Amino acid sequence: MNRGEIGRREFGRATAGRGLAATGRVREASPVLAAGVEEFIFADVFSRSGLPARERELLTVAVLAALGGADSQLGVHAPAALDCGADPEDLIQLCEQIAPYAGFPRALNALRAVRTVLEERGLPLPLAVRDVELREFTTLAATVGEGDEGILLVHSPELDRRMWRDMMRALPEGHFAVAPDLRGAGAAVGAPLPQGLSELASDLVGVMNATGLRRAHVVAQGASAAIACAVADAHPDRVIHLTLIGPRTELATAVPGAVALADQMRPQTLAVDVWASRYARDRFARLDPAGWMGLVGAVANAELGRTGGVQVSVVAGDSDAVVDLMLAGHTWPSAAVTRVPEAGHLAPLEAPEACAQIVNALSQ
């Protein structure tokens, strides 16, 4: 196989054949330029091992966006990045990253090109995000829908509001859902450390007040089960139902690193280069130790059985190696237990559609 054939194969693979049509038109006018695209760019550069195809395409989109005046090339490489495994939010955040270095005009032009591609493919834009002013700090909350009753989603201390992204999108139309960043996580890294569990519960009630959520089905992941229970115990009139996904009744004291993720997601998920595994790896690798210790320290000695009489449901992945369901049964003896197929401890990341169906059924 000569360089031209290698280049055409790589260009065709990365762009689902669109690139070959483009170079075909170039060849009609200039075989020299067409050969340069196929033999140098795609045979000599793009086809080399080292940088994965996804990263090469994202870098190409970033450079084209920073250069400006490359709209037609962006129209080829933005879809190619998606075809090579990039998430739509990767492209949106890439445009945002361009702004401080190449200026807002080029960032906005790139965003327009990316948005056109996403709309053509029917792919979603990022979830709406709101600033939430609480008593001691400001945080962010992702939202879908609107109303005065809905779902309040409480992430595990190791992650942030974005762990609920795909589950929120999978909820049936008409649901109102709110997912805030807790102290020490996401946009609230650097917030004052909580003095106790009641302070974290007060934060969640503050989020409800700020977003107009009068009553909520509170859904919590992992160790944050304690925070959800504290809200129900202190404000039973504000809580419709409690759903605890992989509730942690026993907590480790060592700050988890990226290696600990192998205990929380299935090997089959971590082996695939998809958004959920990349997101979880990034959050574990960049976890803020002080924020994590503040959250876990506040929930460590919680009386988990106290829920103000609010009905509790327990949900766990069928491959969850972290949660002791027998212990959870002793803690919440009247709770119904639902298993999520093909999911580990972080079931909302591995099986967002199944979790959305469960939460929707429990919200009825």
Lowest mean pLDDT among 37-46, 80-89, 208-217: 37-46
Q: Which domain holds residue 148?
A: 129-363
- 73 falls in which pLDDT band (50, 70, 90)? confident
Is there a single domain that holds both residue 184 and residue 94? Answer: no
Q: Which residues pair with 175 in a beta bridge?
A: none
Q: Judge whether 56 and 72 are in contact, CB under 8 Å.
A: no
For the cut 90, the answer to whether the pLDDT of residue 51 exceeds it is no
262 backbone φψ class: left, alpha, beta (φ>0; ψ -120 to 50): alpha
d(CA 279, CA 269): 12
Q: Name the percent of the chain lying above pLDDT 70.
A: 91
The pLDDT assigned to 96 comes to: 96
The pLDDT assigned to 149 comes to: 96
Q: Name the percent of the chain lying above pLDDT 90.
A: 67
For the cut 90, the answer to whether the pLDDT of residue 42 exceeds it is no
For the cut 70, the answer to whether the pLDDT of residue 348 exceeds it is yes
Is there a single domain that holds both residue 64 and residue 152? Answer: no
- Across the chain, mean pLDDT equals 90
d(CA 94, CA 62): 7
Is there a single domain that holds both residue 335 and residue 352? Answer: yes
d(CA 131, CA 94): 22
Rounded to two decimals, the pTM is 0.90
Among 91, 121, 151, give the residue marking a domain's end: 121
The structural domain count of the chain equals 2
Is there a single domain that holds both residue 175 and residue 289? Answer: yes
The pLDDT assigned to 17 comes to: 63
Which has more confidence, 45 or 132?
Answer: 132
Q: Judge whether 319 and 266 are in contact, CB under 8 Å.
A: yes
Q: State the burial class of residue 230 (Cβ atoms within 10 Å of its Cβ: 0-12, 13-18, 19+).
A: buried
